[in-house]
Structure 1
Amino acid sequence: MSDSPAPLADPHLLFDTADGRRDLVILGSTGSIGTQAIDLVLRNPDRFRVTALSAAGGRTTLLAEQAHLLRVNTVAVADPGAVGGLREALCERYGAGEPLPEILAGPDAAATLAASECHTVLNGITGSIGLAPTLAALKAGRTLALANKESLIVGGPLVKALAAPGQIIPVDSEHAALFQALAAGKRADVRKLVVTASGGPFRGRTREELADVTREQALSHPTWAMGPVITINSATLVNKGLEVIEAHLLYDIPFDRIEVVVHPQSYVHSMVEFTDGSTLAQATPPDMGGPIAIGLGWPERVPDAAPAFDWSTASTWEFFPLDTEAFPSVGLARHVGTLGSTAPAVFNAANEECVDAFLAGQLPFNGIMDTVTAVVSEHGTPAPGTPLSVADVLEAETWARARARELSAKATAEARA
């Protein structure tokens, strides 16, 4: 390990630790991560200042409210058609004589903000559309608080080529946990990473028992409140498979030394096992405030960013092995992660399409992974050492989405026949 390149996320290496308030750009500000980050900023005005916000464009009233509360310089929407509604919402929020923030619009707007003058960019965008802003922030030399795991999954080699050691600070609860546990030891002393999974709403069910799972059941996560795509990914454990790939890329640990264990309470967010037999676990009650605060404030901690345990109250913490037959997604993720090149992009894109098909009632629950597996298999094995470009990623995603839709439609037609 000592001859390996420095990991992208390393708590011992900091790209920038400017004094005073940190200027932040928040991408995906109207989503779950973005709104929680803004709440943290508003509670800590002496630590953080937001200079710009971006969102998809579907919640212009909330975006305008955020812009006014934070007094940002610039707001951006990915949908140009949302500009009129956003300007109207801003005019309603801002008083007479108050200057409105600059408005940017279009698919490149978030990437433009990511390269703007600031200390840290929080990428809270959902989906692989977050890749361009991730690359823009890294190229501009910004510290990147990364909640958009998909950009790392689909563009791993591109991200690794641009990122300086320690420039990325992960915001996922699992990777923020690993990040903190790794701070306690030397990289050469790490034996394995242990990524915890809640098990989702269907922990303990066999594959046969998952055949008739409904949309409503799959959207009822026992621990976390998340958007529909991430919630379904947690039910299939695709989310955990993506996190295994992400851990490999962030910490430069081989796949055979990254383990997944089911922990229903979601108190322990992940663990690091060292060569002397010690295992360090990072634990808090389920809450994203802590990981967000690590992403925005590291190496300093933000007081009361998240709730702490009441150690005077009895509790039970359980751990179980992963059922790889009922939930094959983690094994498939390891496979595509090992293949590299465009294989992870195909896996991610096909899954997103299959989740949409399931939510629309066009695929059964088990059909999600069955279809993703078929698409990955058809994609084949990239040639070793094949260079990767953004165009390659986009082309692979386009093919994977189209093929996943074809197979989903075929499955629907066969079920109705």
Structure 2
Amino acid sequence: MLSSFSKNIQTTLVTSFFSSLVYACTIPYLIIYLAGLFSPELLGILVMINVVSSFLAGIIGGYLADNFQRKKILMIFQNLYGVSLFVVALNFTGILSHHFWLIGGYLICGITYNLYYSAFDAVLLDSTVPAERKKVYQLEYWSFNLSMALGASIAGFLFKYYLFYLFFGAALLQFAVSAFLQKNLSYKNSVSHTKGKTIFHDLFTNYYIAAKDKRWVILILGIALYSAAEFSLQNYTGIRLSKEFEPITLFSVNIDGVRMLSILQVINTIMVVFFTFIVSRITEKKTERTVIIVGLLIYISGYGLMASANSIYLLIPLTILATFGELASAPILTARQVDLIPEDKQASYLSFGSLSFQISQLIAAVGLTLGGYLTASLISGYIIILGVAGIYFVVSSLYDVKKSTY
């Protein structure tokens, strides 16, 4: 299927796959490592600081993507992302042993990633035509989940004893990804020539258009609320399993909490790899609105209940349940979301849209902090209630009968 698209689409999809692989190998497990150094309350605050700084970086990244050449932005900040991973790797060797370097590397990872990802999204959107867009985003969704499973498999089994090699290898792969993109991407974008008196004026003007689009704002808020369910797996649920899950032996392999988290992510991705297009065919004749509502309800219920489950006999079925909900709703949502974006403000809308990513991380971080005071069952309720509110906002935005033709 990949060969049927243009070279630029192929290049961005391949780059997306390996960039996601780098993320999956490192950041979720770095948070688990930090959980061994700091209290849940302090770790929650640290994650929130990362979310806020990443959000501000995302705003600046969207501005840069609309006003400068996106290929240069990708080259600069993808390489800086690799540098930040290298700094974390050096911490595990004892060369940069102070916690300052570890925390600094973690924060810089979030900042640099968000400085370049708006440009990356805009390049992919720019390279597609409406007729192929749904297939392109479906393929991106499929490859993203495959990369997450591979990353989780690698990191889960290297986490305890080979952290340096894990992060050093991820840094090298990130540098290779950047070089591949620069060599194979043939792309030059037009830039905005409307300048304000200062960069802050330009930033405000750039985002005001997206921020005053009520329908877009409601959609982004809704996505943030339901996406927090999945982010809780990487934050609250993952850390809880690393501490509370009773190790078991499966096929002569010792499975502790960290490896259990990896297994759950691998199951999720294996299902995505084999069932994405099957589920798509099953649901394509159904009403989109119904598919999204039912799919998202299953999705948030699965991830929400996983936050309080400790048994492998509950965790695996809940993962399967959540994944089926994700498979039914995610490709439709992605395709419909980009239909709302004006062509002349793609990067700004996409960067403003990254708020959903940042807010969902913030909600998950709040859940992590609350976990120091509340029971796991209450955290499950917190995740599910917010998810239901998110579904309401998403459906209201996408399928308002006065504004939508779908």
TM-score (norm 2): 0.28
Q: Which has a greater percent of strand? A: 1
- Specify which structure has the bigger relative contact order, considering alpha-carbon pairs within 8 angstroms and separated by 6 or more residues: 2
Q: Which has a greater percent of helix? A: 2
TM-score (norm 1): 0.28
